[in-house]
Amino acid sequence: MAFELTDSNFKEKVLDTEGVAVVDFWAEWCGPCRMIGPIIEEMAKDYDGKALIAKVDVDSNPEISLKYGVRSIPTVLYLKNGEIVDKQVGATSKQVLSGKLDAILS
């Protein structure tokens, strides 16, 4: 299952941790977010031990959403050692999301 990030644990789990994190900014009421939700969950299983796959509910965590300038959802950020290295805005396929992550991990 994708890790649930919040304004209070984002720094510890993503910024202060070495490695790759994929963070899905989403909201319950967002149709496209619900479309990629199952893909994010699949990726959490597929990349277990290789990357942190996580979700941020933008309604419950406005600080982190504002910090990263998330204006449209879903927005998926790819971070390596706390730095943004790639980004996907809008719903897309698992192939696209996994392809970006594979490129970062290789």
Consecutive H or E run containing 44: helix 31-46
Dihedral over Cα of 43, 89, 23, 80: its sign: positive
- Could you report how far apart the first and last alpha carbons of the chain are, in Å? 23
Provide the annotated active-site residues: 30, 33
Nearest to 102 by CA among 47, 37, 63: 47
